[in-house]
Amino acid sequence: MTCARLLTCSSLLLAIGLVVPISSHAQQADKLDPYKMLRSLQFVQDSVVSGDHSAAEMQRFMLATLDERLRSADNAVFEDPRNVDAALIYAMSGGNPATLEFLVARDIDGNFDNRVTDVLRKYLSGKGTLIAKTLSDMVPEYRDKKIGAYLALVAGNITVSRDPKAALKFYDWARLVAPGTIVEEAALRRSLAVAIDAKMLEPAMRYAKSYARRFLHSPYASQFADLYVQLCVEHYDEMASADIDATLAFMDNDRQQEVYLRLARKAAILGKNGLATLAADRARVLAGLDNANASALASLYGGLAGIPTNNVNSALTAISGVPDAMLTPSDRALRAAARAVADAVVRPPVAESPAQDPLANLLDTQQQADAADADVQQSVTPVPDITPVAVPTAGGNALPDVDPQFRTFVDGGRTKLDAIDKLLNDEGPSK
C-alpha cells in the first residue's frame, strides 16, 4: 500500500473515530450514532468522485458498517431526527433496500415519515412511476432538510421519462444545495444525458463544461466522455470547434487525446468528415512523438474521413500504413471495410456485365431483333412454297416422287383452273 493510500485510509478512520485497537473496532462502531457514521460515508463518497479512487474500498466498508449499525440500533436511537435522516440517505446512497424495509417494519413509534418511506420503497423496488406526482409535491417541503438534495435527485430520476425539463429543474436544485458532492456529480452527469436526448444544445454544452471543470477525475468520467462525444457528433453543424476545445481544455493532455480520438472514430463512422478530420488532427498534435499508438489511431481515423473526398489515394495510403499491432480487432475490421470501399472508389471501371459492354449490347440487340422476327413469322399462317417446278401436261404422267401434300395442292389448283376455264367458255358470246 502506498504512502498516499495509507494517509487516505488514516484520515478516513479518524473521521469515523475508528483509530483504536483493532479488537475494539466493532464495539466502537456500535456506540456511534448513525448520523455520525453517515458523515463518514458521505466524506468517502465525495472523495471518490473528486478523484480518490482508492477510497472506493472504504466506501464499501462504510456502507456495510452503517448497514449493520442501523439494523442493530434500538428504536430509541431514531427518536433523534438526524438518525432518521441518516437511514433515509443511506437508502438513497447505494445502501441495502431491505434495511429500510426492516426499519420501517420496526417503527412502532412513528419516527419515520410514512410518506417518505413509502415513496423510497417504491422507488427502490422499481416502481418509481407510481409515485412521481407524490414525490414532486414532496420535494419543496423537504428542500431545506438534510434529505432534500437526495429527494430532488430521486425526483429527477423518476420524472425524466415523462417531463425532461421538470427533471432538469430537480437536478439543478440538487446541485445547488449539495455542491462538490456525489449528489452534484450524479445530477450533472444525468442532466447532460437528459439535455442530449431532448436535443437541448445550449444547456447540454453548459452541463458538459461544468462537469469537465468539476468532476473530471470521477470514476464516472468515462460515461461523461461518451455523452460528450455523442453531443459533439450529433450537433457539430451547430457548434464551433472553439466550443469543443474550450470544454476539453479543462483536461490534461492524455484525457484530451482520448476524447479527441473517440470523437474522430465515431465521426468517421457516421460520415461527419469535418469533425473526424478536426478531432484526428487535434489528437495527432497532442500525441506528438511520444505516443506512437495514439498517432497511428489518429492517422487511421483521419484517413477514414478522407475516403469520400478527392484525396482518397492519400487516405488509402494513410490507413494502410497503420501497423496491425497498434489496432484493436474492431479497428482492424473498420480499416478492412474502409480499405474495401477505397479500393472500389479508385478502381477503373471494367465491362463486367452486358449492361456495361457496348459490343455485348449490340449483339444483344441483334439477338432481340432476330427473336422478334421469328415471333412475327410464327404468328403468320404458313404459306406453301410456290417455287415453279416442272409440272407435266394434262395428258402426261403423274408427278414423280413428289410430296403427297404438295401433290394434293397442285391437283387442287389445277382443278380450280379447269373449272374457271369452263365457266369463261360458257359465259362467252353466242353465235
Got the DSSP string for 111-158?
-S-HHHHHHHHHHHTT-GGGGHHHHHHHTTTTTTSTTHHHHHHHHHHH
Residue pair 136/159 in contact (Cβ under 8 Å)? The answer is yes
Give the C-alpha separation, 30 to 66, whole Å.
Answer: 10
Closest CA to 34 of 1, 75, 2, 82: 82
The reply to whether 92 falls in a domain is yes
The reply to whether 97 falls in a domain is yes
- pLDDT above 90 coverage of the chain, percent: 48
Closest CA to 83 of 32, 121, 49: 32
Q: What is the pLDDT of residues 315-364, one digit of tens each?
A: 777 777 777 777 888 888 887 877 777 667 667 766 555 555 554 454 45
9: domain range?
A: 1-17+32-46+56-106
Computed over every residue of the chain, the mean pLDDT equals 79
DSSP 327: S
Report which residue type is found at 267.
Answer: A
29 pLDDT band, cuts 50/70/90, is low
The reply to whether 93 falls in a domain is yes
Residue pair 210/172 in contact (Cβ under 8 Å)? The answer is no
The reply to whether 101 falls in a domain is yes
DSSP 399: P
Closest CA to 306 of 265, 344, 340, 273: 273
Identify the pLDDT of residue 329: 84
Cell numbers for 424: 369463261
Q: What is the pLDDT of residues 267-283, one digit of tens each?
A: 988 888 889 889 999 99
Give the C-alpha separation, 262 to 279, whole Å.
Answer: 8
Q: Look up cell 420501517; give the residue.
A: 104
Report which residue type is found at 129.
Answer: T
Q: How far apart are the first and last CA of the chain?
A: 152
The reply to whether 72 falls in a domain is yes
The reply to whether 412 falls in a domain is no
Of the given ranges (98-112, 146-160, 382-396), which has the lowest mean pLDDT? Answer: 382-396
Identify the pLDDT of residue 332: 83
Radius of gyration of the chain (CA): 45
Give the C-alpha separation, 260 to 279, whole Å.
Answer: 5
Give the C-alpha separation, 271 to 47, whole Å.
Answer: 40
Judged against a pLDDT cut of 80, whether residue 35 lies above it is answered with yes
Give the C-alpha separation, 154 to 190, whole Å.
Answer: 11
20 pLDDT band, cuts 50/70/90, is very low
Helix, coil or strand: residue 268: helix
Q: Look up cell 489528437; give the residue.
A: 283
Q: What is the pLDDT of residues 134-159, one digit of tens each?
A: 898 899 999 889 999 999 999 999 99
Give the list of residues 6+ apart from residue 73 with CB closer than 8 angstroms, or none: 34, 83
The reply to whether 81 falls in a domain is yes
Q: Which residue has the higher pLDDT, 201 or 376?
A: 201
The reply to whether 191 falls in a domain is no
Split into its structural domains, the chain has a count of 1
pTM of the model: 0.72
Give the C-alpha separation, 191 to 177, whole Å.
Answer: 16
Give the C-alpha separation, 172 to 187, whole Å.
Answer: 7
Of the given ranges (55-59, 369-373, 400-404), which has the lowest mean pLDDT? Answer: 369-373
Give the list of residues 6+ apart from residue 23 with CB closer than 8 angstroms, or none: none
Count of CB atoms situated within 10 Å of the CB of 186: 22
Of the given ranges (32-36, 165-169, 316-320, 366-370), which has the lowest mean pLDDT? Answer: 366-370
Closest CA to 80 of 134, 52, 38, 131: 38
Cell numbers for 399: 408427278
φ, ψ at 215 (rounded to 5°): -130, 35
Give the C-alpha separation, 136 to 160, whole Å.
Answer: 12
Q: Which residue has the higher pLDDT, 63 or 301?
A: 63
308 pLDDT band, cuts 50/70/90, is confident
